[in-house]
Amino acid sequence: MTDTCPFCSIQAQRIAGGNEHAVWIRDGFPVSPGHSLVIPKRHVGSFFEVSSEERIALLELLDQAKLAADMEFHPAGFNIGINDGADAGQTVPHLHIHLIPRYKGDSPDPRGGVRWVIPDKADYWSKRG
């Protein structure tokens, strides 16, 4: 835990759910209604550094956040993502799992989903020269 890490000092009123090892909150800069983050309580940077118990706890809260989004917003689907490392786009060096609800029509062509992190290689289904 560090004093400068925003996920080590989450205000209690932002916490939507939690367990022994993790919490989930609504994203402060949501890309869609219901966008949530699942965050370990222990300050750890990578998904690959969490213990088995922490991993189970994170996935339990991912299920809780998904159910809450289903009940409140009724999305048509979800993207689940982790930016693990600066070169993968991680800007806060504390592991967090994004749960991003998706809605019919929110993108002209949602095919490829998370593959769009590298746009030149995302589209594998159409004929590219």
- The catalytic position among 21, 35, 94, 96 is 96
Beta carbons within 10 angstroms of residue 117's beta carbon = 13
Sign of CA dihedral 59, 87, 94, 78: negative
Q: Which residues are registered as beta bridge partners of 59?
A: none
Whether 35 is a known active-site residue: answer no
Bridge partners of 98? 37, 81
Among 36, 17, 16, 18, smallest CA distance to 26 is for: 36
CA-based angle 16:19:21, to the nearest 5? 115
Q: Which residues are catalytic?
A: 96
